[in-house]
């Protein structure tokens, strides 16, 4: 039975599953690392102990998340070869060096200084510790730079030629690295990561505020998160719009799928909702806003927008996935902006830290960033199908000569393992959240730390087989 | 487009760099995995805490060398990467799964109370599985792969045979030796005493397996036999087994003595001798016995671009790696995780 399954489909499922699982962790740690650096800076400069307590609570959560990100990331670096070997062979000349630079300039930096950040409390000066936090934060962004450059090249390839045996050869590295969609994707993703962190931190802060616990630390968390929601969420709308216009220029089929637009139309309406039917080649039950699509995409009420029928059926992406994921992403983005506006109004009315109903709302928004990031990646990755390198190489040409049954086995193993690991990780993070920041009395000593923070309270307090 | 290929032997340089990255991975994650292998045999929970703490600040950076080995192979020798990964599909996946269970145990174990036992076993069996699979990959590698055109042409289970099982077990013992001697260096008291005894015991097995591999490799492959047993190569290569034998005797003596550092560094040298032996035997194949490192090399401009980054970054990486080892020098404590 397994032999009858399509190995290409299985390989796609495996890649989609493992990368979707993996992206959750960088989406959170990129923002969290930068925020921890800000917290430590405030702590060292203002000497306010609530910053220190907040830092020490979140650095534990950072460690758990980062650990899961590392182990799921190592898997990714091997999967190009195990599952997409024809792609690796052909595109290795172009993409290999980009991934190599990611390891050399980012992974070692993060991994080494994470050790100092977590274990170096009593071994380095506060300044050196702060520097380590900054280095880890920089490492996460550098890592995003290289991997997004590689991904963007697969979306908008340039600066290459195709040589013997169909191999890709780089012609101009600057064109490869700074390919047309890269700057937009990079800004959009890093901003998304910051917002993801902000809404998680804000949600947890709101939880403490609503429960009346850890008031000082909760204000730090919630206040700083709302600053992000007020200022960065609207900026993300702008970045997203620019990224969308860039996609329209280079991958118009993806935009047509996002819009659920089948016929090439002047003065195209915006399909607010609907059900794109791939077979019938139309979007059923559509709720339309006249001319809005043309206005957004061409900045002209009667601008021409190319529909999906302009491409042969076999060159179109699965439309409903792209269509719906796009709406989920934009919808969540709008909710984030509304959260920011509400926070601004409440702040001006001096009720931000008292309005319990709003704290409950922010608790509900805790996973918003993760969902938006996943939905956004589904839009961009499903939207470029059937290509692995847009317009040049199809996913079906990229796959490894591996039979269906080993891939079926590995998909199952990954689903079970990741389910178990993710469940456990979530459990331990919730445990850390339930416990909250350490109380103030424990803070003393040169660096505000008496004992290494994780042991403080956790193991020694709850006993267990530890010593 | 810049390229250094007209005045540098790029494929050779890259073979050296990737070879070094993989060897550093074997050494550095070797002692981490070895500690995982020995984990349940430690006398007390306090010993186990100490064992884990002795590597907790390093394991992440150590594992990064594997990513550099894998990513570097993709960058510098994409053809080899594209043939080897599908050929070793199942052991690579199981190795990754093992590394996942091993890696998360570091973070979860100290946060667990009732379920700590679970993460002890996750750490142990994850390490064991990763070590076994790496050894089996080695066994499959030295026996060679079926290749047609630019891709792997064999079956999903070609890697699985009695020989690869033997090399898998051999590497488990090899890593256990590194782990035990690391503990002799980084711990004291009961843990150190136990580590000394374990190291001596493991050492005998490592010696046995090295003899088996050294005899079997020339028997399986005529080229390897010709290389090692033809004149005058026999005499050029003769120092290698002699030095290795000398190292074993010295480690044995150091483990009985009072030295805390030497047995670990001598064990690293044993691995170095084994590694050089393999490189010499398999030269110049990168996918034995079908594709040489020159055939598998990426375009000159690709190897050149990454070489610039490597020349700048590798010394920096090595410097701050050394800084971290210096920072966390001395004996590991059973408390004070982080």
The pLDDT of residue A448 is: 40
| Residue A365 DSSP symbol | T
Mutate to test the interface with B, among A69, A115, A118, A176 (most CBs of B within 10 A): A115
Q: How far apart are CA A282 and CA A248, in angstroms?
A: 20
Q: How far apart are CA B302 and CA A169, in angstroms?
A: 8
Residue B3 within a domain = no
Residue B333 within a domain = no
Mutate to test the interface with B, among A97, A403, A422 (most CBs of B within 10 A): A97
**pLDDT averaged per 10 residues, chain B (length 338):** 81 91 92 94 89 87 87 90 92 93 87 85 94 94 88 88 92 95 91 92 93 87 82 84 92 88 92 90 87 88 88 87 84 65
Question: What six digits make up the tokens of B81?
Answer: 């990467």
Chain B residues in contact with A142 (beta carbon < 8 A): none
The pLDDT of residue A460 is: 37
Residue pLDDT, tens place only, A322-339: 999 999 999 999 999 999
Residue B4 within a domain = no
pTM to 2 decimal places: 0.88
The pLDDT of residue A461 is: 35
Q: Which of B64, B74, B113 sits opposite A92 (nearest CB)?
A: B74
The residue length of chain A stands at 467
- The answer to whether B103 contacts chain A (CB < 8 Å) is yes
Mutate to test the interface with A, among B22, B51, B71, B286 (most CBs of A within 10 A): B71
The pLDDT of residue B327 is: 83
Phi, psi of A172 (to 5 degrees): -140, 110
Residue B318 within a domain = yes
Q: How far is CA A133 from CA A53, A208, A243, B95, B179, in A?
A: 16, 26, 31, 31, 30
Q: Do A70 and B60 touch (CB under 8 A)?
A: yes
The pLDDT of residue A2 is: 63
Residue pLDDT, tens place only, B132-170: 999 999 999 988 898 888 888 888 898 898 889 999 999
Residue B260 three-state SS:
coil
State the distance between the two ends of chain A, measured CA to CA, in whole angstroms.
52
Q: Which of B61, B92, B327 sits opposite A123 (nearest CB)?
A: B327
Q: How far apart are CA A268 and CA A308, in angstroms?
A: 13
Q: Do A400 and B99 touch (CB under 8 A)?
A: no
Q: How far apart are CA B337 and CA A263, in angstroms?
A: 62
Mutate to test the interface with A, among B5, B58, B76, B110 (most CBs of A within 10 A): B110
Q: How far apart are CA B5 and CA B284, in angstroms?
A: 19
| Residue A177 DSSP symbol | H
Percent of chain B scoring above 90 in pLDDT = 43
The H or E element that residue A98 is part of is: helix A85-102
Chain A residues in contact with B151 (beta carbon < 8 A): 85-86, 89, 400-401
Residue B334 within a domain = no
Residue B1 within a domain = no
Q: How far apart are CA A36 and CA A134, in angstroms?
A: 8
The pLDDT of residue B225 is: 84
**B236: exposed, middle or buried (Cβ count in 10 Å: 0-12, 13-18, 19+):** exposed
* Residue ranges, chain A, pLDDT below 50: 441-467
Q: Which of B1, B99, B306 sits opposite A100 (nearest CB)?
A: B306
Chain A residues in contact with B90 (beta carbon < 8 A): 406, 409-410
The structural domain count of chain B equals 1
The owner of tokens 């050779």 is B12
Chain B residues in contact with A435 (beta carbon < 8 A): none
CB A286 within 8 Å of CB A324: no
Residue B169 within a domain = yes
- The answer to whether B46 contacts chain A (CB < 8 Å) is yes
Question: Which range of residues forms the domain containing residue B62?
Answer: 10-327
- The answer to whether B4 contacts chain A (CB < 8 Å) is no
Distance from CA of B214 to the nearest CA of A (A): 30
Chain B residues in contact with A462 (beta carbon < 8 A): 113
């Amino acid at each position: 039975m397994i032999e009858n399954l399509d190995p290409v489909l299985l390989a796609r499922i495996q890649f989609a599953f493992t990368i979707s699982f993996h992206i959750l962790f960088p989406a959170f740690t990129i923002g969290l690392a930068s925020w921890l650096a800000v917290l430590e800076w405030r702590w060292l400069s203002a000497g306010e102990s609530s910053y220190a307590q907040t830092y020490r609570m979140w650095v534990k959560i950072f460690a758990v998340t980062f650990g899961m990100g590392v182990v799921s990331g190592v898997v990714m670096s091997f999967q190009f070869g195990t599952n997409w070997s024809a792609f690796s062979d052909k595109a290795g000349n172009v993409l290999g060096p980009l991934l190599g630079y990611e390891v050399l300039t980012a992974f070692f930096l993060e991994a080494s200084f994470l050790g100092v950040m977590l274990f170096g409390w009593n071994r380095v000066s506060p300044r050196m510790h702060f520097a380590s936090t900054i280095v880890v934060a920089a490492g996460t962004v550098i890592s995003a730079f290289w991997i997004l450059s590689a991904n963007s090249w697969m979306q908008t390839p340039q600066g290459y030629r195709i040589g013997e045996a169909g191999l890709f050869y780089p012609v101009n590295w600057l064109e490869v690295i700074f390919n047309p969609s890269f700057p937009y994707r990079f800004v959009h993703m890093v901003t998304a990561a910051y917002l993801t962190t902000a809404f998680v931190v804000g949600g947890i802060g709101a939880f403490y505020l609503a429960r009346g616990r850890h008031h000082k630390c909760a204000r730090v968390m919630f206040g700083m998160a709302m600053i992000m929601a007020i200022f960065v969420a609207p900026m993300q709308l702008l970045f997203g719009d620019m990224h969308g216009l860039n996609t329209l220029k280079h991958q118009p089929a993806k935009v047509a799928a996002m819009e659920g637009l089948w016929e090439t139309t002047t003065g195209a309406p915006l399909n607010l909702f609907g059900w794109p039917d791939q077979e019938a080649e139309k979007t059923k039950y559509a709720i339309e806003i006249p001319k809005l699509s043309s206005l957004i995409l061409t900045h002209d009420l009667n601008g021409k927008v190319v529909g999906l029928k302009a491409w042969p059926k076999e060159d179109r992406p699965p439309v409903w996935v792209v269509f719906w994921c796009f709406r989920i992403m934009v919808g969540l983005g709008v909710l984030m902006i509304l959260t920011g506006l509400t926070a601004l109004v409440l702040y001006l009315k001096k009720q931000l830290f008292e309005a319990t109903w709003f704290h409950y709302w922010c608790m509900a928004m805790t996973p918003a960033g993760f969902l938006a990031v996943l939905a956004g990646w589904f839009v961009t990755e499903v939207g470029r199908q059937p290509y692995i390198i847009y317009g040049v190489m199809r996913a079906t040409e990229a796959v490894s000569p591996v039979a269906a049954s080993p891939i079926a086995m590995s998909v199952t193993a990954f689903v079970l393992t990741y389910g178990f690991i993710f469940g456990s990780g979530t459990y331990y993070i919730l445990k850390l959240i339930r416990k909250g920041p350490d109380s103030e009395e424990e803070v003393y000593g040169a660096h505000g730390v008496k004992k290494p923070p994780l042991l403080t309270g956790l193991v020694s307090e709850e006993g267990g087989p530890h010593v | 487009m810049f390229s250094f290929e007209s005045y540098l032997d790029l494929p050779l340089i890259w073979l050296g760099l990737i070879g070094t990255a993989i060897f550093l991975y074997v050494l550095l994650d070797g002692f981490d995995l070895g500690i995982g292998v020995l984990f349940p045999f430690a006398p007390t929970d306090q010993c186990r805490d100490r064992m884990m703490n002795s590597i907790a600040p390093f394991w992440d950076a150590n594992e990064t060398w594997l990513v550099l080995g894998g990513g570097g192979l993709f960058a510098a020798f994409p053809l080899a990467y594209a043939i080897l990964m599908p050929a070793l599909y199942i052991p690579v996946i199981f190795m990754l799964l093992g590394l996942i269970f091993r890696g998360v145990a570091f973070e979860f174990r100290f946060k667990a109370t009732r379920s700590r036992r679970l993460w002890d076993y996750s750490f142990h069996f994850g390490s064991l599985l990763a070590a076994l699979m790496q050894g089996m990959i080695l066994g499959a590698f030295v026996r060679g792969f079926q290749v047609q055109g630019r891709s792997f042409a064999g079956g999903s289970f070609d890697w699985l045979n009695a020989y690869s099982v033997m090399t898998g077990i051999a590497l488990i013992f090899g890593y256990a030796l590194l782990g035990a001697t690391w503990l002799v260096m980084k711990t004291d008291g009961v843990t150190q005493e136990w580590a000394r005894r374990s190291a001596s015991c493991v050492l005998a097995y490592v010696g046995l397996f090295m003899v088996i591999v050294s005899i079997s490799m020339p028997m399986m492959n005529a080229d390897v036999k010709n290389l090692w047993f033809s004149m005058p190569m026999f005499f050029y290569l003769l120092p290698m087994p002699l030095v290795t034998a000398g190292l074993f005797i010295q480690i044995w003596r150091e483990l009985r003595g009072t030295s805390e550092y030497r047995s670990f560094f001598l064990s690293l040298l044993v691995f170095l001798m084994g590694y050089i032996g393999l490189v010499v035997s398999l030269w110049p194949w990168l996918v034995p016995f079908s594709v040489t490192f020159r055939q598998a090399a990426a375009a000159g401009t690709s190897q050149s671009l990454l070489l610039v980054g490597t020349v700048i970054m590798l010394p920096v990486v090595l410097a701050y790696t050394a800084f971290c080892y210096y920072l966390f020098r001395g004996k590991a404590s059973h408390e004070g995780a982080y």
